Amino acid sequence: MRAASEGQFDLPCLHVPCWPGEEYLEKQRIMELFNDLCASVAFNKPQDVRAFLLQELAKREREGAQAGLFEDSEIVAVFQLADLKSHGVISSKQARAALLSLASSERQRLNIETMELPDELDLPAFQEKAKSVLRGGQGGQLHAQAPRAVDLALLRATAPTGA
């Protein structure tokens, strides 16, 4: 463990405020905002990062804090990854894995893990669930992160192997 003076902090507590400002940052969701902005920068790779961040903040001001990165076509692509055999439906297990691949915070993961899903979802039902969580509606919050390789592997692992 390095000392704070060396530029790193080791904060072993996860749910109990460890320093005076942590409770405020958590309440205001500042770290979540920074994580979202960093993910957005990494996903879009803008030439002018400052101008891009200003645009992202303005977009969040207009559209709300849960304005996300995912376009309809990207949500469709995530569904198609889960529906590798093009049956037009995916199981609740596949849908949950697909939604988790979009999550960018522990809070979002928890909301997705606990949300109720029907046994099977077609594309419109999956899009509705995804948009609900992208907006921060009932069932959780999602947004702002490109699917990670490990999440895509999980999607493939949950795909049906039969014909």
* CA–CA distance, 163 with 160 (Å, rounded to integer): 8
pLDDT reading at 147 higher than 90: no
Closest by Cα among 58, 85, 81, 70 to 130: 70
Positive or negative, the CA dihedral 106, 134, 132, 74 is negative
Q: Tokens in use for 90? A: 């995916």
pLDDT reading at 163 higher than 80: no
What pLDDT, on a 0 to 100 scale, did the predictor assign at position 3?
47
User: What DSSP designation does 94 have?
Assistant: H
Percent of the chain past pLDDT 90, that is, above it, reads: 27
Q: pLDDT confidence of 80, banded at 50, 70, 90? A: very high
* CA–CA distance, 3 with 37 (Å, rounded to integer): 28
Q: pLDDT confidence of 152, banded at 50, 70, 90? A: very low
Q: Which residues contact 81 (CB under 8 A, 6 or more apart)?
A: 98, 152, 155, 156
One-letter amino acid of 159: A
Residue 78 dihedral angles phi and psi, to the nearest 5°: -65, -40
Can you give the pTM of this predicted structure?
0.52
- Stretch 100-120: mean pLDDT, rounded? 82
What pLDDT, on a 0 to 100 scale, did the predictor assign at position 15?
54
